[in-house]
Copies of this chain bind each other. A is one copy, B any other.
Amino acid sequence: MNLRDKLKESTREAILEAAVSVIISNENDMRMEDVAEKAGVAIGTLYNYFGNRQLLIDTIIEKRRKMAEDHIRQSLAQTAGQDVAARLEKLFQTLQGFLARHRTVTHHALQAKEADANSPGQKSLTAMLNEHVSDILQEAVQREEIRPEDMDLYPLVISGYLKGIFALADDSLETGSRPDFAKRLAELFLNGAARRS
């Protein structure tokens, strides 16, 4: 990659970062003018790079989704072969950390409709999560760690957990404030809330 291309790449990144910061600031939706100003480029430049507003938004969402998926894949790889409790704990931990860092944008990602006409190949964040959760659970069923009868409920419940995590106020997700959070959540999923005799 030569110098010119590096400059282009950094402009592209600057625009994406600016757009994220405008989305987060959350006054006036995401105005192209604001993005341009924040990125320190002209409006036209936004359109040179992203074609139109929606494509810019799609790019951001897709990027976050990819980041999230990378985190998740990595955490799953690290716990390969371990029992379901450990794997769920790790998954929750990873997500908790990711969401803490990317709250607002991920908020958009979570709400993103499936596959727009313009971006047909994209998977939603939710769909991606469900897939990975299913992988863990199916393995756990095979190891006879969890009951197969309620397999239809599990993804729903887990993605509910994740949405619950996401709904927590920012500060309570910050590092350190809830150290054993993920572990206890995994535990709860497996063993339930009922008092043990």
Chain B residues whose CB sits within 8 angstroms of the CB of A190 once the complex forms: 192-194
Question: Which one, B156, B167, B185, B191, contacts A167 given CB within 8 A?
Answer: B156
In the complex, what residue of chain B is closest to A151 when comparing beta carbons?
B193
Of A159, A190, A192, chain B has the most CB atoms within 10 Å of the CB of A192
Per the bound structure, the CA–CA distance linking A126 and B169 in Å amounts to 13
Chain B residues whose CB sits within 8 angstroms of the CB of A195 once the complex forms: 144-147
Q: In the bound complex, do residue A165 and residue B156 qualify as a contact, i.e. CB atoms below 8 Å apart?
A: yes
Per the bound structure, the CA–CA distance linking A163 and B162 in Å amounts to 10
In the complex, what residue of chain B is closest to A88 when comparing beta carbons?
B193
Chain B residues whose CB sits within 8 angstroms of the CB of A160 once the complex forms: 157, 160-165, 167
Interface residue A196 (Cβ < 8 Å from any Cβ of B): yes
Question: Which one, B154, B164, B196, contacts A147 given CB within 8 A?
Answer: B196
Per the bound structure, the CA–CA distance linking A21 and B195 in Å amounts to 46
Q: Which of A75-128 contact B (CB under 8 A)?
A: 111, 126
Chain B residues whose CB sits within 8 angstroms of the CB of A192 once the complex forms: 188-192
Per the bound structure, the CA–CA distance linking A167 and B193 in Å amounts to 23
Q: Which of A170-194 contact B (CB under 8 A)?
A: 181, 184-185, 187-194
The distance from the CB of A138 to the nearest CB of chain B, in whole angstroms, is 13
Interface residue A3 (Cβ < 8 Å from any Cβ of B): no
Chain B residues whose CB sits within 8 angstroms of the CB of A181 once the complex forms: 153
Q: In the bound complex, do residue A156 and residue B164 qualify as a contact, i.e. CB atoms below 8 Å apart?
A: yes
**Can you list 16 pairs linking A and B with CB atoms under 8 Å apart?**
A146-B193, A147-B193, A147-B195, A147-B196, A150-B184, A150-B187, A150-B188, A154-B193, A156-B165, A157-B160, A157-B161, A157-B185, A160-B165, A163-B163, A163-B164, A191-B192
Chain A residues proximal to chain B, CB less than 8 Å: 111, 126, 144-147, 150, 153-154, 156-157, 159-165, 167-168, 181, 184-185, 187-196
